[in-house]
């Protein structure tokens, strides 16, 4: 089945530094990828929709300059948390849908646990 690889699975960084999270579709091309954020024991909240070759669409309340998204190829989207603060500590999950298959299910990465100290 379709596989989405998310890296790293865990990262600890110091406050004020930036962290990049990668989301790769391993065996399919994804024109659209989604980035979610999940706090402990809470639901997944959509942060942004990443479109290959164009600017990402951010949800209301998500800072574009803080959460930089780049979808430079059909198999890779990156989320960079800039100038991270402890309140950015969370679980980040990406998902992707195969290009040309509007009705196909979304495939999720395994998530990245970010801890900002």
Q: Is 117 in the site for other proteins (CB under 8 A)?
A: no
Task: Give the span between the Cα atoms of 99 and 80, in whole angstroms.
Answer: 24
Task: Give the span between the Cα atoms of 88 and 72, in whole angstroms.
Answer: 24
Closest to 110 (Cα-Cα) out of 96, 90, 94? 94
C-beta closer to other proteins: residue 82 or 115: 115
SS3 87: helix
C-beta closer to other proteins: residue 60 or 65: 60
Site string for other proteins, 16-35 (x = CB under 8 A): ----------------x-x-
Query: Given candidates 5, 49, 80, 82, which one binds other proteins under the rule CB under 8 A?
Result: 49
Site string for other proteins, 81-100 (x = CB under 8 A): ----------x-x-x-x---
Query: Given candidates 41, 65, 86, 87, which one binds other proteins under the rule CB under 8 A?
Result: 41
SS3 86: helix
What does R_g of the chain's alpha carbons equal in angstroms?
A: 13
User: Residue 61 region, left (φ>0) first, then alpha (ψ -120 to 50), else beta?
Assistant: left
- What are the residues binding other proteins (CB under 8 A)? 32, 34, 38, 41-46, 49, 57, 91, 93, 95, 97, 102-103, 105-106, 108, 110-111, 113
């Amino acid at each position: 089945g379709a596989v989405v690889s998310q890296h790293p699975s865990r990262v600890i960084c110091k406050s004020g530094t930036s962290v990049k999270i990668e989301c790769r579709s391993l065996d399919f091309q994804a024109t659209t990828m989604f980035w979610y954020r999940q706090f402990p024991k809470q639901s997944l909240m959509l942060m942004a929709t990443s479109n290959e070759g164009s600017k990402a669409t951010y949800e209301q309340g998500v800072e574009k300059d803080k959460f930089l998204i780049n979808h430079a190829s059909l198999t890779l989207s990156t989320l960079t948390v800039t100038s991270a603060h402890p309140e950015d500590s969370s679980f980040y999950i990406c998902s992707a849908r195969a290009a040309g298959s509007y009705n196909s299910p979304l495939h999720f990465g395994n998530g990245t646990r970010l801890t900002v100290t």
